[in-house]
A = this chain, B = another copy of it.
Amino acid sequence: MCAVSTSPGGRSYHHGDLRAALLDAGLGLLDDGEAFSLRAVARRAGVSPNAPYRHYEDKDALLSALAGRGFDGLADRLEASADLETMARVYVAFALEHPGLFRLMYGRPTANAAWARTAEILASRVATPALRVGAWALVHGLAVLLLDGKLECTDPDALVRSTVAAVLTPAVRA
């Protein structure tokens, strides 16, 4: 009782911007490799287990929002890349920096705007359709295999460079 409503320091009944806080908390869980549960997200945000439902229909909706945010971040980085090799390195680096998020992004049937933007950027840098698919598959495959620990590798960045040089560059030139 007597919780000060307008005070900035003390926790008041209403959070203020729980929607954003939930996204941050969710991202935190993913990046820390902890088990992702709605309750854990709520705990991180310092709120009751059911509070998230005021902002997201269900767990899946929160996950989709997180995936969207992830694609946005990835698209930003890709857009700032000068050439194909840089894009490849940035793509893989993103995956390795945010394994949980990256897996989430691709592990669900999403058709949101951020995803479309990412695909568009990827497509805009390669001429022919077959090469488009090939370049993307190559880089995505590298990222996924590295994430899953299927490639013994001490220097992922170097691996990306050499693979791109061995496979992608000759193909583009052909």
From residue A54, how far is it (CB to closest CB) to chain B in Å?
A: 27
Contact A138 B166 (CB under 8 A): no
From known contacts A109-B149, A142-B141, A148-B107, infer whether A166 and B130 are also in contact, taking CB-CB under 8 Å.
yes
Contact B133 A142 (CB under 8 A): yes
Residue of B107, B141, B166 near A141 (CB, 8 A) is B141
Complex interface residues of chain A between 104 and 121 (CB less than 8 A to chain B)? 106-107, 109, 119
Instruction: Decide if the interface of chain A is mainly helix, strand, loop or mixed.
Output: helix
Kindly list chain B residues whose C-beta atoms are within 8 Å of the C-beta of A166.
128, 130-131, 134, 171
Per the bound structure, the CA–CA distance linking A11 and B173 in Å amounts to 66
From known contacts A170-B170, A171-B171, infer whether A137 and B163 are also in contact, taking CB-CB under 8 Å.
yes
From residue A78, how far is it (CB to closest CB) to chain B in Å?
A: 15
Q: With an 8 A cutoff between CB atoms, is A14 at the interface?
A: no
From residue A94, how far is it (CB to closest CB) to chain B in Å?
A: 15
Number of interface residues of A (CB under 8 A): 34
Contact A133 B163 (CB under 8 A): yes
Q: Which residue of B lies closest to A119 (CB)?
A: B150
Q: With an 8 A cutoff between CB atoms, is A90 at the interface?
A: no
Cβ contacts A to B, 23 pairs, < 8 Å: A106-B144, A106-B148, A106-B150, A130-B162, A130-B166, A131-B167, A133-B142, A134-B168, A136-B145, A137-B142, A137-B145, A138-B138, A138-B167, A139-B141, A140-B141, A140-B145, A141-B144, A144-B144, A167-B171, A170-B171, A170-B174, A171-B171, A174-B174
Contacts A130-B166, A170-B173 known; list 8 others, CB within 8 Å: A106-B145, A109-B149, A137-B142, A138-B138, A140-B141, A141-B142, A167-B167, A167-B168
